């Protein structure tokens, strides 16, 4: 891979900081590095490869000469700044929901649809929603072999997916719970410590949450199959990091658990952790800080013969965000 000049917009956030770690760990040949955020964080410093870098407030000039602009600063910021960064010649790889369903913006998971990254008329590539990424990495090998027709998925999403302030709020709530004191909701919609929440934006017409509808539409776009039916439920759980998913899948032909295990063994980005008889299955604590999408509890669906059930766990900050974005940059600047 050639050396690339990189900007990170949202560098001070949980995903931005993870991007720095991933770039460092994967030894991506980064030339110039621009760390960008809002004026609130201008002047702060972040470490990369043993050197302190100063965070700047985002400006048009900051993107001049940049090859890859990795965005993780929210949808509103992306809508404003992605076209401006692209106009300066940067390839924008955006983590927000702003561009994912735009027909002129590819939605890319490198293990699943790498070729989509080639056509990017707006100069923008979208990184899918974290829950969608781990779902499609696990299901793509099954889809290729036997065409996925229907997915029923319940997510168990960690608080790190809601950003740095939400992580701090949960930690304070957990301390208050232990002390028997009243807990402040902070940026959360209520108490998450000792509880479950469904606090994403509601889609009043359908009764779903936007987080759930993202999984419906993004899964179809990435797998390139508009016929796939997805029935999602998204739940926030008091886990610090790594999302889990209970997935029920129906294919165009019956598939045994043995065949699914064979297809998933060595599949790109997948690691099987599937020895339930001995209590071995994917867990968020073990997945945290690691790259693979862990798949386990593969079993033939007792309620729908021919179908399958799986348990899928991945680090939402890494494969669900920072790692996937860096992998896209590696793909684009491979030669
Ligand atoms: N967390 C996840 O697992 C995950 C997964 C997939 C996608 N995403 C997406 O990634 C994005 C960032 O998420 P996060 O969890 O890292 O959030 P976060 O911890 O709250 O960080 C937000 C970052 O965006 C910057 N920012 C906010 N408003 C800005 C503005 N107007 N101009 C420039 N910079 C601005 C913040 O800078 P300041 O320090 O100056 O405030 C900070 O660096 C979101 O779009 C989120 O949906 C997150």
- Most ligand 1 atoms within 8 A of CB, residue of 58, 73, 98 to mutate: 73
Q: Report the separation in Å between the CA atom of 146 and the middle of ligand 1, taken as the mean of its atom positions.
A: 38
- Specify whether the backbone of 319 is left (phi greater than 0), alpha (psi in -120 to 50) or beta: alpha
Q: Report the separation in Å between the CA atom of 273 and the middle of ligand 1, taken as the mean of its atom positions.
A: 32
Q: Report the separation in Å between the CA atom of 159 and the middle of ligand 1, taken as the mean of its atom positions.
A: 14
Spatial separation of the C-alpha atoms in residues 160 and 176, rounded to whole Å: 19
CA distances, 113 to each of 71, 104, 137, 229, 284 (Å) = 20, 15, 10, 19, 26
Closest atom of ligand 1 relative to the 57 alpha carbon = 33
Told to judge if 243 belongs to the known catalytic residues of this protein, a careful annotator would answer: yes
pLDDT tens, the chain, 335 aa long: 889 999 999 999 999 999 999 999 999 999 999 999 999 999 999 999 999 999 999 999 999 999 999 999 999 999 999 999 999 999 999 999 999 999 999 999 999 999 999 999 999 999 999 999 999 999 999 999 999 999 999 999 999 999 889 999 999 999 999 999 988 898 999 999 999 999 899 998 999 999 999 999 999 999 999 999 999 999 999 999 999 999 999 999 999 999 999 999 999 999 999 999 999 999 999 999 999 999 999 999 999 999 999 999 999 999 999 999 999 999 999 97
Spatial separation of the C-alpha atoms in residues 98 and 126, rounded to whole Å: 8
Which among 167, 176, 145, 161 is positioned nearest to 245, based on CA atoms? Answer: 161
Tokens 């050197």 locate to: 51
Tokens 């990795």 locate to: 70
Burial class of residue 275 in the structure, from the number of CB atoms within 10 Å of its CB (0-12 exposed, 13-18 middle, 19+ buried) = exposed
- Ligand 1 atom 12, closest CA: 72
From 130, 143, 199, 217, the catalytic residue: 130
Domain ranges of the chain: 4-128+321-332, 132-316
pLDDT at position 102, please? 98
Tokens 């999984």 locate to: 215
Q: Report the separation in Å between the CA atom of 13 and the middle of ligand 1, taken as the mean of its atom positions.
A: 5
Q: Report the separation in Å between the CA atom of 46 and the middle of ligand 1, taken as the mean of its atom positions.
A: 15
Rg (CA), the chain: 20
In total, the chain counts a number of residues equal to 335
Those residues with Cβ within 8 angstroms of residue 45's Cβ, 6 or more apart along the chain or in another chain: 52, 53, 54, 55
pLDDT at position 1, please? 84
Are the C-beta atoms of 293 and 271 separated by less than 8 Å?
Answer: yes
pLDDT at position 318, please? 97
pLDDT at position 199, please? 87
The model scores a pTM over 0.85: yes
Q: CATH classification of 4-128+321-332 is 2.40.110.10, yes or no? A: no
Domain 132-316: assigned CATH number: 3.30.360.10
Closest atom of ligand 1 relative to the 75 alpha carbon = 45
Instruction: Indicate the SS3 state at residue 267.
Output: coil
Which among 318, 283, 320, 274 is positioned nearest to 134, based on CA atoms? Answer: 320
- Ligand 1 atom 29, closest CA: 38
Spatial separation of the C-alpha atoms in residues 248 and 39, rounded to whole Å: 45
64-79 per-residue burial string, b: 16 or more CB within 10 A, e: under 16: eebbbbbbbbbeebbe
- Ligand 1 atom 10, closest CA: 72
Beta-sheet strand order (sheet of 91-94)? 45-48, 51-57, 30-37, 4-9, 68-71, 91-94, 124-126
Residues framing ligand 1 (Cβ under 6 A): 9-16, 37-38, 40-41, 58, 72-75, 77, 95-96, 130, 160-161, 163-164, 316-317, 320-321
């Amino acid at each position: 891979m050639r050396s690339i000049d990189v900007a990170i917009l949202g560098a001070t956030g949980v995903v931005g900081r993870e991007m720095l770690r991933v770039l460092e760990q994967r030894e991506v040949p980064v030339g110039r590095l621009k760390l960008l955020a809002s004026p609130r964080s201008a002047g702060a410093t972040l470490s990369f490869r043993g050197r302190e870098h100063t965070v700047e407030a985002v400006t048009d000039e900051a993107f001049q000469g940049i090859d890859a602009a990795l965005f993780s600063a929210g949808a509103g910021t992306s809508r404003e700044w992605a076209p401006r960064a692209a106009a300066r010649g940067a390839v924008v790889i955006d983590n927000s929901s702003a561009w994912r369903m735009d027909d002129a913006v590819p939605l890319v998971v490198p293990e699943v649809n790498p070729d989509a990254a080639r056509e990017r008329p707006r100069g923008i590539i979208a990184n899918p929603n974290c829950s969608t990424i781990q779902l499609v990495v696990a299901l793509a090998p099954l889809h290729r072999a036997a065409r996925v027709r229907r997915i029923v998925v319940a997510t168990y999403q960690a608080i790190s997916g809601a950003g740095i302030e939400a992580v701090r709020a949960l930690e304070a709530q957990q301390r208050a719970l232990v002390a028997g004191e009243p807990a402040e909701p902070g940026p959360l919609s209520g108490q998450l410590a000792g509880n479950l929440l469904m606090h994403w934006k509601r889609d009043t017409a359908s009764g779903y949450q936007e987080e759930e509808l993202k999984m419906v539409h993004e899964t179809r776009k990435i797998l390139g199959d508009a016929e796939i039916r997805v029935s999602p439920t998204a739940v926030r759980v008091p886990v610090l990091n790594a999302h889990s998913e209970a997935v029920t899948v129906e294919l165009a032909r019956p598939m045994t658990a043995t065949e699914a295990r064979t297809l998933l063994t060595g599949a790109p980005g997948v690691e099987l952790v599937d020895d339930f008889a001995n209590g071995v299955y994917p867990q968020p604590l073990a997945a945290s800080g690691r790259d693979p999408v862990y798949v386990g509890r593969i079993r033939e669906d007792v309620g729908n013969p021919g179908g399958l059930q799986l348990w899928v766990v991945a680090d939402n900050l890494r494969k669900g965000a920072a790692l996937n974005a860096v992998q896209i940059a590696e793909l684009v600047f491979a030669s």
